[in-house]
Chain A
Amino acid sequence: MAKKPIGPVRRVFAPWKDPNAVPFIEFRNVTKRFGDFTAVNNLSLKVYEREFFALLGGSGCGKTTLMRMLGGFETPTEGQILLEGQDLAGVPPFRRPTNMMFQSYALFPHMTVEGNIAFGLKQDKMAKADIEERVQEMLRLTKLQPFAKRKPHQLSGGQRQRVALARSLAKKPKVLLLDEPLGALDKKLREETQFELTALQESLKMTFMIVTHDQEEAMTVADRIAVMEAGEIIQVATPAEIYETPNSRFVADFIGDVNLIEAKVMETSEAGTKLQAVGEDFQIETSQKVGVNVGASVWYAIRPEKIRIVLGEEPLHKVNATSAVVWDIAYLGDVSIFHSKVGEDHTLRSTVANVTRLVERPISWDEQVVLSWDGDAGVILTS
């Protein structure tokens, strides 16, 4: 891969779009079984140098297993894992150029902060002065200088997290693996740390791979996200792509809040696709082209913030619009979520930003409303 200066102009960093780019890490048809349980199922994945890559999925989806195989803690049942083109099979963890930040932090309780950070460097038989220098650098980087002589139990949760980070960074690994690194922190600290992580990754120009179940975290830190389910990758894309154009109902539902409308394809043309909502009297028109026949069953996924809600009896045309009755309103401070009944058994959610101080709701319970949206605001899903 050509080493372009990757700095503030982050948007241009997209090696996965370059057909000539050589992957830095590659999983080739990797399968991992524990007895009868298949944790990772015939999975292939390419990650590029200097990428911040996130594995996102629910508990038991195989994301941690995938990362542990890269770290060398699990051996794939089938398939290959390559780092810089080298097959990692048979290389024990202590010889791999990857370092991991553990979910439990796994700090050595009998060593000081310095001792923890220096541990990996000592294994490499680095000169004493160099170790000292690198430890100081890491302490500075993670703002841990005042705590250098403390032991892990004398630190707060956030400080421990930074020690774990400093320790895994100290050896300047080719890949830093982060296993739910912020899971134990409270919400506010977690958000701060997410931005610190991104900044760190950019300044160190290293490849990071993070495992998380928190979609917000994945979207904040990662260049690309792989959404996993039952040992398989469902979609790999940038956070924006994942959110705006999910490739399946699973991804649409997993990331953020979504309305899924069951529909039948009425018409396909150069201009786009026309859908009829199943069991309802409105249609959907988008410029999206789908490779399915007329009459096929599809789903139309649209985010709640993309549905407009206004008081009114009936829309002019029931295309990308429908009438509904407000059934419930949840006031969340910054936004309000309206649950509106469309027909007998469907509800659509729409979020409205509370741009003024809420004194009196402009729209209230049981009121007749019109819901409308831009056809291209949503996406047609065939799986």
Chain B
Amino acid sequence: MSTETSAKPKRTIGGWLLIAVPYAWLLVFFLAPFFIVFKISLSEVAIAIPPYLPTFDISAGWQDFKDGLSQLSFENYVWLTEDALYWKSYLSSVTIAGTSTALTLLFGYPIAYGMARCPKAWRPTLLMLVILPFWTSFLIRVYAWIGILKNEGLLNQVLLWLGVIDQPLVILNTNIAVYIGIVYSYLPFLVLPLYANLEKLDESLLEAAEDLGCPAWKAFWKITLPLSLPGVIAGCFLVFIPAVGEFVIPDLLGGSNTLMIGKTLWVEFFANRDWPVSSAVAVILLLLLVIPIVLFQNQQQKMGEKDA
């Protein structure tokens, strides 16, 4: 029997307030700032407080506002295309994030699969063990790798002692360290949605496949993998999108030639104090991420509808 409520329920004052408060908060503290970022990205840098021109003073009236408006320009964006540093940063961010996502998937899929195929009694514990690192500080987890990866670090000590190498490997301050850092930090983001998906997989499907003459390994390719694709996609988005804008990992583990846009923005902002250019960098980064974010949301929505 349909107990669905009507499409547009009658709302009381309380009902409106419930919507209005969080809505207003997000408009003010999430959406409005983006417009300000955009506006400032059109300004020019100045030695002042705040360090950009023009500044709008609401009290100065309309004329002043119009004067200010005419001073805005796309100069900073032109600058972004002229200086190779920026587009190289964007490109390298996407490549590093893409590579790390692929590595995370390669590493995370067997874990998620193994967990989903474990006896039921273990699963909650395993699940908690995956979630637990997520609760501990991101910064600490990245920091922990410095001691392991550096030239005289633990990894090199162990490898030297085992006789695998006779010269310490240079890993810290290279892109490899960044890959390790991203895989390590974002692994739970991939394993969780994938596990949730794989756990729901009806085992009798595999039994049916085998019953119909399909060997187990082939059943994995033909049944398990295609059915787990929504989980794979969700997990990959959850790793890729934040990894593109990552700052802490390339800053602490990467070298001086590791270019990532988050780091570039940070340097532009804190070291060069060039707020307009860092705003322009942020706008471009945002535009770059809008596509995967929208794709991700659509996919989530579709999955939600399917479940409902």
Q: Is there a contact between chains A and B in the complex with CB atoms less than 8 Å apart?
A: yes
Stretch at the interface among A63-71, A288-296, A332-340: A63-71
B1-29, CB under 8 A of A: which get 1 and which 0? 11111110010000000000000000000
Interface size class of B (residues with CB under 8 A): under 10
The answer on a CB contact under 8 Å between A60 and B10 is: no
Chain A residues contacting B2 (CB-CB under 8 Å) are 34, 37, 39, 60, 64-65
Q: Is the CB of B3 within 8 A of A35?
A: no
Give chain B residues whose Cβ lies under 8 Å from the Cβ of A63. Answer: 1
Question: Is A59 an interface position by the 8 A CB rule?
Answer: yes
Shortest CB distance A43–B (Å): 16
Give a binary string over A171-185; 1 marks a CB under 8 Å from any B CB, 0 the rest.
000000000100000
Q: How far does the Cβ of A98 sit from chain B's closest Cβ, in whole Å?
A: 17
* B:47-81 near A, CB below 8 Å: none
Contact B6 A75 (CB under 8 A): yes
Is A367 part of the binding interface, using a Cβ–Cβ cutoff of 8 Å? Answer: no
Complex formed: what's the CA distance from A312 to B2 in Å? 52
* Pairwise interchain contact B4-A34, C-beta atoms closer than 8 A: yes
Residue from A37, A68, A75 in contact with B3 in the complex, judged by beta carbons closer than 8 Å: A68
- Across the interface, do B7 and A34 meet the contact criterion of CB distance under 8 Å? yes
**Contact at A35–B7, with CB atoms within 8 Å?**
yes
Where chain B touches its partner, the secondary structure class is loop
User: Cβ of A59: which chain B residues have Cβ within 8 Å of it?
Assistant: 1
Residues from chain A with a CB closer than 8 A to the CB of B6 are 34, 74-75
Q: Is the CB of A60 within 8 A of B1?
A: yes
Q: Which residues of B contact A74 (CB under 8 A)?
A: 5-6
Chain B residue numbers with a CB within 8 Å of A68 are 3
* Neighbouring A residues of B10 by C-beta, 8 Å: 75
Q: Among residues 261 to 278 in chain A, which have CB atoms less than 8 Å away from a CB atom of chain B?
A: none
Query: In angstroms, how far is the closest chain A Cβ from the Cβ of B19?
Result: 19
A39 to B7, CA, bound (A): 14
What total of A-B pairs shows CB separation below 8 Å?
24
Point out the residues of chain B lying under 8 angstroms from A75, CB to CB.
6, 10
Contact in complex: A64, B7 (CB < 8 Å) = no
CA–CA, A39 to B4, complex, Å?
Answer: 11
The chain B residue with its CB closest to the CB of A104 is B3
Cα distance, A190 to B130, chains bound together (Å): 46
- Give the residues in chain A near B1, CB-CB below 8 Å: 59-60, 63-65, 180, 211
Binary per-residue interface labels of chain A (26-49) against chain B in the complex, 1 for a CB within 8 Å, 0 otherwise = 000000001101010000000000
CA of A39 to CA of B2, assembled, Å? 9
A64 touches B4 (CB 8 A): no
Return chain B residues, CB-CB under 8 Å to A37: 2
Separation of A75 and B3 alpha carbons in the complex (Å): 13
Query: Nearest Cβ in chain B — how far from A179, in angstroms?
Result: 8
| Cβ contacts under 8 Å, A60 to chain B | 1-2
Task: Please name the residue on chain B nearest to A35 by beta carbon.
Answer: B7
A68 CA to B1 CA, complexed, in Å: 11
Q: Which of A58-88 contact B (CB under 8 A)?
A: 59-60, 63-65, 68, 73-75
Q: Please name the residue on chain A nearest to B6 by beta carbon.
A: A34
Q: Chain A 244-261, CB within 8 Å of chain B: the 1/0 string?
A: 000000000000000000
**Chain B 125-158: CB-based contact to A (< 8 A → 1; otherwise 0):** 0000000000000000000000000000000000
Output the nearest chain B residue to A68 by Cβ-Cβ distance: B3
Distance in angstroms between the alpha carbons of A180 and B3 in the assembled complex: 13
Q: How far is the CB of A101 from chain B (nearest CB, A)?
A: 14
B5, B6, B7 pick with most chain A CB within 10 angstroms: B6
Considering only CB atoms, which chain B residue lies closest to A63 in the complex? B1
Alpha-carbon gap, A65 to B6, bound state (A): 11
Q: Hey, which bits of chain A sit against chain B, CB under 8 A?
A: 34-35, 37, 39, 59-60, 63-65, 68, 73-75, 180, 211
Q: Can you list the 10 inter-chain pairs with the closest CB atoms, starting with the nearest? A: A64-B1, A59-B1, A35-B7, A34-B6, A34-B4, A64-B3, A60-B2, A39-B2, A75-B10, A60-B1
14 pairs, CB–CB < 8 Å, chain A vs chain B: A34-B2, A34-B7, A35-B7, A60-B1, A60-B2, A63-B1, A64-B2, A68-B3, A73-B5, A74-B5, A74-B6, A75-B10, A180-B1, A211-B1
